[in-house]
Chain A
């Protein structure tokens, strides 16, 4: 069965070259990189090489600024909690936004129970944070600003460079959750003026269970995982070398093919945006088309609910993701969509369409023809649809 994957935000298939690199690593029975004998040293070399490759993807000046983690969630938890704990004597105030991923929101919430205060900024109707509001929110107690690079539901990209200039001037640490951006769009930690940058391997076709945190040299941060002196004393625990090798291969390929991939992804985005009105009416585009990822579009289909749409598309072998309240474990409307000013009813009909390098225009055609039928069926049974 040929399933069209337009749910690349949930999972991206590993590239064949990444699989090969990982299988080779498994078959090599790599020893612990901390061991001082020959077998350990070989692993340490591979680890150092992987660190160079990953550092290059975010343009880190020094590979030692990369801390390997178990993925985006750990990176974010480490950045937010680790920076807050390490700088507690300087202040207790954190500035963030209402549209962050739950890994930021809940980390910050956890910190409030330890005496930290939080200012959470709204986004404007185009889904972006106003850098001036960030500047105004910073007080002499502020120790950390955390703003995401691109939103995982809408794909909208935030003005990180402008915010970085402000935090640099005000001498406040700046963490950027760039999990859905790194490896997809060019990333330069120095141009952005970030001190901490979280990323994960799967968004650029590496394995899940591997991620990284960029920590600018001199940044005060505590480990999240206390233990050995691995990762330059920033993360205890023997490294997940097989995952790290897979991530490094994926990073190398993402850097080498970035322009070509982006052009293809942008083409599909433009094609989808152009074709949508020919197949559907009464929908809202929640993505800021000017400032957003090339591989994602978030739409709300009015009068119907997203899980129903997702299930019916699944019957047609088209995989998508929804952010309707019904489909989430917590049964709450997405905080991101509500922050954009969507009503609960409109938020219910939200689909996240995310494509990858393996998708084609024909896949978009298949999606649209299936979607127009599904929407017609569901609207015909909706008490809200009066046409």
Chain B
């Protein structure tokens, strides 16, 4: 089901844990399947670099592997560099995820970006209500469109997946 890189990060996840005195915390939940991920950051004030990063994840093999890979990618990066890490980058570093598991990689990048936002907000003294996270369904112009839930190929303007009987509210 999963490739060797994904299985390695699932079986031996890097950077699991909590940073008690974290400078930034990002917590996201997946509205689709109920997965949850929390990212903790320790930031070097001087060069705005991620000194330490840890994660906690409640989710499937893919969600755990994404968390692990994401933390490896973000560690040591400046905040500007880390902000540029996308879902696609994480999935690519894992050498691919099953199509219907790509949404797990959305979870990872979102958690990281929220943790950085949380750090920025803390410095600026902003308190934000918990943001609702929406499932993204991205694909380029002219690419085949697949149901984000069950991987079945869809027509352009479909708003209902006949295969898994789900309403599709995302933009196509």
Contact = CB atoms under 8 A, between A and B. Distances in A.
Nearest to B161: A330
B108 to A, nearest CB: 14
Interface of A: 106, 109, 303-305, 307-308, 311-312, 315, 324-327, 329-333, 344-345, 347-348, 380-384
Given A325-B34, A326-B63, A382 B56 contact: yes
A211 to B, nearest CB: 23
Contact of A308 (B32, B64, B103): B64
A331 B36 contact: no
Output the residue of B13, B38, B61, B166 with the most chain A CB within 10 A.
Answer: B61
Contact of A330 (B16, B64, B164): B164
Given A331-B149, A348-B33, A315 B56 contact: no
A323 B57 CA distance: 19
A383 B165 contact: no
Contacts of A324: 33, 60
Q: Specify the main secondary structure of chain B where it touches its partner.
A: mixed
B58 A303 contact: yes
A311 B98 CA distance: 15
A106 B163 CA distance: 10
Contacts of B27: 383
B58 A326 contact: no
**Interface range on chain B (Cβ under 8 Å from partner):** 20 to 34
Contacts of A329: 100, 149-151, 164
B62 A326 contact: yes
Contacts of B59: 305, 308, 326
B119 interface: no
B122 interface: no
Nearest to B17: A381
Contact of B32 (A304, A325, A347, A380): A325
A383 B37 contact: yes
B13 A331 contact: no
Interface string B13-56: 10011000000000100001111111000000000000000011
B149 A384 contact: no
Contacts of A109: 165
B33 A383 contact: no
A364 B57 CA distance: 29
B171 to A, nearest CB: 19
B11 interface: yes
Given A382-B57, A383-B27, A383-B56, A326 B13 contact: no
Nearest to A303: B58
B132 to A, nearest CB: 16
Output the residue of B59, B101, B166 with the most chain A CB within 10 A.
Answer: B59
B102 to A, nearest CB: 11
B10 A311 contact: yes
24 contacts: A303-B58, A304-B58, A308-B59, A308-B61, A311-B10, A315-B11, A325-B32, A325-B33, A326-B33, A326-B35, A326-B62, A326-B101, A329-B100, A329-B164, A330-B165, A331-B32, A331-B33, A331-B100, A332-B149, A333-B33, A344-B34, A345-B58, A381-B55, A384-B58
A370 to B, nearest CB: 14
Given A307-B61, A331-B103, A331-B164, 5 more contacts: A308-B60, A331-B149, A345-B34, A345-B58, A381-B55
